[in-house]
Structure 1
């Protein structure tokens, strides 16, 4: 009887194709994806591993520079993972998969080996989808079948390989030993949401060949703006490899925002200046290093709730052809998809292989790509165990116990489009949330639409009504007035109605609930009074945001008065509508707006009372009876319960810095200045009585948004008990003296 080693050699020899061409050895089922390594007998090559649970066969397809395809059968199957080691294959090799199985859409089975599939674990992607519309070859079904009611049930046998991007083998041994992560505590964070391409596409200080790329964002001219502004983190709109929807391509548009992911490990190749056969990985890492060196964290906006394959009438690009039932939520009629995202499909996160895909991807971006946190698009969809949103769902449980992921910044967009999907304030400790109630309250206050000031009181002071449970802190609230989705700050004060005609959807897309006010004229105007009022409202909104308790988020360009011409859904506008116009600060009013934003952020960084680590108690902190937070009417009296329920356009907020919860680096009690902020939204000025002793003997004026030039504002002193005239629609901030 032969030895075990001899038997193994015979089995391996039987799997090696005879004659010229690549061979396949058994390889290993882990890690998933394509990994360069040294195989048996010191032979270098690449191990390929693909989870395809219900498949009958899997072919690995290798492509040379000319596009010629070589197909290799993966015959090893371990725990539903098909795998093989191919000697001689190294970095830069382009590849894909063909997966064989039943075609039975009525039961959710949509295997079609005629379709080349992207590896879900691909670390780089080369190529793009057609620019004039997705060809019928990329659909698993016969797209042009005459009977539309069964169109998705007839299998298309045409080869999709010539029409789809290819995965790329990447070898990268970077250990990040020279990188120093900023690790900014949550209370000290200021987030700046930006688009990698749009931020630098028109930047005159960035070399033209680098504009709109990872390298462009890493350029000193781009980084300098972020540093001088005073933000601590950039939140990048999706940089996972994404695809464009067919309906956009046919209108000559693209998915500019990128919320249409197809590769959760691959940096989007369209943002690379150095190449797309693996070079994009190194370029992304160099960008992260440059931002880290400037003290700026990198947060990714990630889209794990759905993919670019849409519903049953969508293309077959990756997961749909690997194991449709294993990756997507299907309805009781398995031919149809459960759609909690509004994008045609929803990933079935309860399935172990889907949960593994997501968490492996997240860990990869932290440990190997250097990022510092994530903002989860439509996070409620990820928290659905079966149909209902469940805060004890497998996804949230896995994140909470993962030694890597529980240490990074986690931001939820706490809603989806399904029933019960609105979950603001419900995510567990460890998570922060986009607080749209803050957005709505601030917008309504400054346009004069709040019935009373109760909502503003909660939002300005950290939203304790939403987050003061389970040990959560004020920084659980990510405060924002604008985001990528909706009006820019400038458009919020310039338009009352959306103007999305450029999107080609008859202005039907985008929300109608803008809570905006055009200050008397719709759109751009030459009226100096309207333009002056708009600039004042911009100063009011920015000042309110940056003085509020919680984590502020700015949108790139808002600090310079960027406009999208009233488009509140510019997801498909890869042009000047969306790109930042760096000539804006040449306008005096917008230059002063930028200066005010920098000054407010510097003030926030200097004063712990403006970025508290714990909620206000509202109770006396010392024997003198002063509380850490107090509210005052225009008459200088503390607000009563009746005042909170009464219509009001003026709100006085006293922030005591005498005893702030927490200790400094030496272990001493943190103390700070105290401030009085007066927010006045009425169209008439108001005589405001400044609270006297014991609150303050006098006050020093720090800023007044009624003044265009804030450099002349500081220094004026007012006595406690004095009446201060607060200009119409303005914010006054005073520092307590004595």
Structure 2
């Protein structure tokens, strides 16, 4: 038998010829299979199998030679080393008679003399990393190919919901069910989400936005809790190792094909119950970090193509993570498109939220351009034409594009940071906010009125980075000491108010005021035009104890505490009833902006909003063409009572109480509304009310 290495060298001598040679895997394969190597095709990057074999294709810039390594186990030496053929800068080969399931990686020698071993295929559909979260050891996965790629979707289709009907729930897959109180069979995994679908239905959720579910290394953050021996982790996952591979630690088994099957199962079951799946994608940077870190994928393949660099070939960092993906280079742009298409066609996801999306509008020098090729290509791609596209319209390089992220077409939704800021400031009683508040709850037509729609605005008050709803009314200052960075991390600009005492308190009046403010925030979010997005755990008032940057906390700061649903059942009832109220009222789910005849604004007196007067009261009547179903809402964000003159209800109707946030449960939301017969009503401080014409 010819030794593998010697035979591999023989192939490289005949490198430019199309060959078909057989050789034996010998002692390395129990069944002593043989396989054949042919030139194959440079088209379709990644690996593609047919009944005869598998085609490998890899883009490598300025390579001298590229070798395919095949493994039985990722930690063992390769059982074969196959030099690849070259067409332009694509390296490829077609290998026959391979095992159905295989492990592979690449060795690359560059023209400049640099040498990389065990380089990942950026198109790999799965990696060989462990399925056990936090398992110690060197994280050095290889690529995995599984023949078990068929899946029974059982004819379950995507709900394809109109944008205006969405209520989005931002969820962390692990955090949703990891706590023991979840009592699920698969805690912290894709299958665990399925077991909690009844909760999502009860809450009124019809879309989940999942924090990163593509492969990342949770152990890359090498720090311990301050003064403790407990490990901190990259819990959120905004550090992608491979963009085609679902996160292995969210699977129930080690087998690389299982994670794909279980992700698809989760998507299918969510779709079966009318819930869409939006995934958070991080194309602004990669896990390779800064120049000093070793390259295991893109840096080895084409460092100067995949990353934005200066004239001295140093990375420009517009993400705060050490590198910035050069997304508008043609090669990189095509990679992003291929990846998105895969998640839509093969994995059936319904949309994408682009982390730090403004970084994708920068050219190869890092300069923002008005028509970024990557964003334009995504917007116009026929396969992606029906999916939801959501931008986080800023980056860490001071580029802030809220209201101006690819405005040429009504294609993108935006995380509306100005909505968050305005609502927080008004509800806590900040001066000079009334006009801005009214504009935001009306759909932000000042930003999206030019050919776009209220559905361009993703309205939110709390998301994963920042305070929870409970902490927003409990802390004036962040407390991030447990992150191990001496409280330097996380924003100091929170627009929060602790209602009188910082953090935990036993003061009954302060606790009551906090509950009232939480009800106020949720009410206005449910009444606003645009798409509401809710944070996992806010439905019961989850606290992160003042930590507004819990990216590294794999513990109860981030985990959904299912036992708290019972402890805070009163707030949960209010929270979910308002969501269902929104679903039941089309006038809260408009696809077009309000016209002047659709809404009346009021102050303490009907039809006198007194925009020029700097007070903290605003009210409005949102009209239903059928008269019945017209809504009146009022907000007193001041520290003293205000006597309000209630406008007359529409002809042949009467006002009924729906919400009074100054009341305790169950009177805060009336499931069986009662008539409101008062012409004047004294609204308590920091309270809101909602009436409906019946």
Change (3 A) 1:572 1:693: closer
How far apart are the structure 1 equivalents of 2:304 and 2:647?
Answer: 66
1:97-152 deviation per Cα after TM superposition (whole angstroms, max 9, x unaligned): 11110458xxxxxx423x311110110111259999999xxxxxxxxxxxxxxxxx
Is the CA contact 2:25–2:80 (under 8 Å) kept in the aligned structure 1?
A: no
- Equivalent position SS for 2:98: coil
Asked if 1:655 corresponds to 2:636, the answer is no
5 Å-filtered alignment, 1:546-557, equals: 546-557=526-537
How far apart are the structure 1 equivalents of 2:298 and 2:127?
Answer: 15
How far apart are the structure 2 equivalents of 1:678 and 1:653?
Answer: 7
Asked if 1:680 corresponds to 2:636, the answer is yes
Change (3 A) 1:48 1:305: same
Partner residue in 2 for 1:278: 257
How far apart are the structure 1 equivalents of 2:623 and 2:483?
Answer: 49
How far apart are the structure 2 equivalents of 1:352 and 1:650?
Answer: 53
Deviation at 1:315, TM superposition (A): 2.7
How far apart are the structure 2 equivalents of 1:312 and 1:9?
Answer: 33
Partner residue in 1 for 2:228: none
5 Å-filtered alignment, 1:240-639, equals: 240-244=214-218, 246-248=220-222, 252-334=231-313, 336-386=314-364, 387-428=366-407, 429-470=410-451, 472-587=452-567, 590-618=568-596, 627-639=597-609
How far apart are the structure 2 equivalents of 1:132 and 1:573?
Answer: 12
Is the CA contact 1:125–1:276 (under 8 Å) kept in the aligned structure 2?
A: no
Deviation at 1:36, TM superposition (A): 2.3
Change (3 A) 1:466 1:393: same
How far apart are the structure 1 equivalents of 2:373 and 2:433?
Answer: 41
Partner residue in 1 for 2:687: 730
Unaligned runs of 5+ in 1: 1-7, 40-44, 105-110, 136-161, 619-626, 660-670
Is the CA contact 1:35–1:169 (under 8 Å) kept in the aligned structure 2?
A: no
Partner residue in 2 for 1:159: none
Deviation at 1:246, TM superposition (A): 4.2
Is the CA contact 2:20–2:38 (under 8 Å) kept in the aligned structure 1?
A: no
How far apart are the structure 2 equivalents of 1:568 and 1:367?
Answer: 36
Is the CA contact 1:122–1:263 (under 8 Å) kept in the aligned structure 2?
A: yes
Partner residue in 2 for 1:153: none
1:68 pairs with 66, 77, 81, which one? 77
**Cα root mean square deviation, aligned:** 2.5
Deviation at 1:55, TM superposition (A): 1.3
Q: Across the two proteins, how many residue pairs are aligned to each other?
A: 662
Deviation at 1:27, TM superposition (A): 1.8
Deviation at 1:719, TM superposition (A): 4.6
Deviation at 1:14, TM superposition (A): 6.8
Partner residue in 2 for 1:25: 38
Deviation at 1:478, TM superposition (A): 0.3
2:115 pairs with 87, 98, 112, which one? 112
Change (3 A) 1:327 1:235: same
How far apart are the structure 2 equivalents of 1:47 and 1:697?
Answer: 70
Is the CA contact 1:241–1:264 (under 8 Å) kept in the aligned structure 2?
A: yes
Partner residue in 1 for 2:674: 716
Is the CA contact 1:36–1:170 (under 8 Å) kept in the aligned structure 2?
A: no
Partner residue in 2 for 1:92: 101
Is the CA contact 2:134–2:219 (under 8 Å) kept in the aligned structure 1?
A: no
Deviation at 1:188, TM superposition (A): 0.5
Change (3 A) 1:450 1:129: farther
- Equivalent position SS for 1:644: coil
Deviation at 1:87, TM superposition (A): 2.1
5 Å-filtered alignment, 1:129-144, equals: none
The alignment's TM-score, normalised by the length of structure 1, stands at 0.85
Is the CA contact 2:358–2:405 (under 8 Å) kept in the aligned structure 1?
A: no
The alignment's TM-score, normalised by the length of structure 2, stands at 0.91
1:5-64 deviation per Cα after TM superposition (whole angstroms, max 9, x unaligned): xxx99944476668857542212223211222223xxxxx32211111221111111121
How far apart are the structure 2 equivalents of 1:280 and 1:383?
Answer: 32
Change (3 A) 1:463 1:10: closer
Deviation at 1:672, TM superposition (A): 6.1
Is the CA contact 1:496–1:516 (under 8 Å) kept in the aligned structure 2?
A: yes
Partner residue in 2 for 1:55: 63
- Equivalent position SS for 1:405: coil
How far apart are the structure 1 equivalents of 2:564 and 2:15?
Answer: 70
Change (3 A) 1:558 1:117: same
Is the CA contact 1:242–1:260 (under 8 Å) kept in the aligned structure 2?
A: yes
- Equivalent position SS for 1:733: strand
Deviation at 1:231, TM superposition (A): 1.0
Stretch deviating more after TM superposition (504-513 or 348-357)? 348-357
Deviation at 1:508, TM superposition (A): 0.5
Is the CA contact 1:133–1:247 (under 8 Å) kept in the aligned structure 2?
A: no
How far apart are the structure 2 equivalents of 1:207 and 1:637?
Answer: 53
1:605-654 deviation per Cα after TM superposition (whole angstroms, max 9, x unaligned): 11111111110111xxxxxxxx2111100122332xxx223212111011
Stretch deviating more after TM superposition (345-354 or 433-442)? 345-354
Partner residue in 2 for 1:195: 172
- Equivalent position SS for 2:48: strand
Change (3 A) 1:373 1:91: farther
Partner residue in 2 for 1:666: none
Is the CA contact 2:215–2:242 (under 8 Å) kept in the aligned structure 1?
A: yes
